[in-house]
Amino acid sequence: MKTTIKKGKTDFKLAMVLLFPSLFLLLLLVAYPMFSNIQISFFHLPINPRLDSTFIGLENYINILSDIEFLKSLGLTVLYTALAVGGSTVLGLLVAIFFNRPFMFRKTARSLIILSYVTPSISLIFAWKYMFNNSYGIVNFLGGDVFHLFKQAPLWFDNPVSSFILVVIFAIWRYFPYAFISFLAILQTIDSSLYEAAEIDGASAWQKFKIVTLPAIMPVLITVITLRSIWLFYMFTDVYLLTNKVDILGIYLYKTAFAFNDLGQAASISVILFIILFIVIIAARKRVNFNGNG
């Protein structure tokens, strides 16, 4: 008994020593900014640190939660995230299933698929802006001058509805390769005998997918959806550079923090966003367990 306790103590010491660098970095890079952010959210903070900050309690939170623009922005972000995550995951899965078989130039085709994911955002955004340019974009040229689909060229990024549809399509196209790579990796681990057995039992393609594929890919599916939801919920660059007609939360936050230099209010927005996302993720993970029996 004595020996066991002694051994436990030694392990603890060693564990602490080994954990120290990670704990230190976590405190420095994650915990300190996080607590600082929470603290700032209760203040009216001038940019100049030599001027006095004013403690205003929950005023920043009340202002944000009663701002109709924030609520509109939140609704828009939820819709954007849901459509883009759903679209990119489904497209990634379909392409991965299609590519999970031998064919000529398979490696080259796989490399080409991930192009949109590995190309820098700024190049893609400018390419899209030129494609949909009102005067000389190829989309209006083909639709109007070549195929005569419309008489007057639509102002793609000037209309809130078409702008929203385009930023969602852009996100699906840009991020589906991430889902594709993840799903292809897990699909290759599924034993082909399971499909053969299902075929012998007379299962249709949909039944094979539902009974064999879906349970096998479920852990990856959950991870892909969770991570992509977090990333898209906080999206800023893609949408901000493509159009100014879609004010998702990332843009609302940026405008508050840097256009009006209201750092306290911006900090309170980020705390609210964190709480919303935290609840959504926890609820989603409880609803669907990793064994695919959700």
Partner 1 sequence: MKIKSLSLLLIIMFSIVLSACGNRTTTDDGRTIVEFMHSSVEQERLAVINKLVAKFEKENPDIKIKQVPVEEGNYNTKVVTLARSGNLPAVIEVGNDYAKVMEKDELIDRKSVNKVLDQVGKENFYEGAIDLLRTENGKSYSGVPISGWVQGIWYNKEMLKAKGMEEPKNWEEIMGVAKEFTDKGSKKYGIAIPTVEGPFSEQGFSQFALSNNANVFNNNGDLMLNTPEMNEALTYYKKLSQYTMPGSNDTTEIKDAFMNGTVPMAMYSTYILPSVFEEGDANNIGYIVPEQEQKAVFGMVSALTISSGLEANQKEASEKFVSFMSEPENTTDWVLMSPGGAQPVNKQVTDNPDYQSNEVVKAFGNLSTEIAASFNDIQAFGLVGGKNYLKMGDVTSSGAIPTLINNITVGKSGIKSELKKAEKTIKDALEKR
Q: Are strands 54-55 and 43-44 parallel, antiparallel or unpaired?
A: antiparallel
159: Cβ contacts below 8 Å, ≥ 6 apart: 245
23 binds partner 1 (CB under 8 A): yes
CA distance 101 to 248: 39
Segment 47 to 66, residues that bind partner 1, using CB under 8 A? 47-51
Q: From 162, 112, 110, select the one nearest 134 (Cα to Cα).
A: 162
149-168: contacts with partner 1 (CB under 8 A)? 153, 155, 157-158
The residue whose two tokens read 């929950």 is: 58
**Is there binding between residue 245 and partner 1 (CB under 8 A)?**
yes
Query: Minimum Å distance from CB 228 to partner 1?
Result: 26
The first and second tokens of residue 136, run together, are 């000389």
Q: Which stretch binds partner 1 (CB under 8 A): 72-80, 216-224, 250-258, 271-279?
A: 250-258
Single-letter amino acid code for the residue at 70: F
30 binds partner 1 (CB under 8 A): no
Interacting residues of 161 by C-beta distance below 8 A, sequence separation 6+: none
Q: Residue 162 Cβ, how far from partner 1 at the closest point, in Å?
A: 11
What single-letter DSSP state applies at residue 212?
I
138 lies in the binding site for partner 1 (CB under 8 A): no
Asked if 71 is part of the footprint of partner 1 (rule: CB under 8 A), the reply reads no
Nearer to partner 1, 97 or 257 (CB): 257
Q: Which of 240, 242, 241, 224 is nearest to 253 (CA)?
A: 240
The pair of three-digit structure tokens given for residue 2, joined into one six-digit string: 């004595």
The yes or no reply on residue 278 touching partner 1 (CB under 8 A) is no
Candidates 10-18, 77-85, 200-208, 215-223; binding stretch for partner 1 (CB under 8 A): 10-18
Using CB under 8 A as the criterion, which residues of the chain lie in contact with partner 1 when the complex forms?
A: 12-13, 16, 20, 23-24, 27-28, 32, 45-51, 129, 133-136, 153, 155, 157-158, 244-245, 255, 257-263
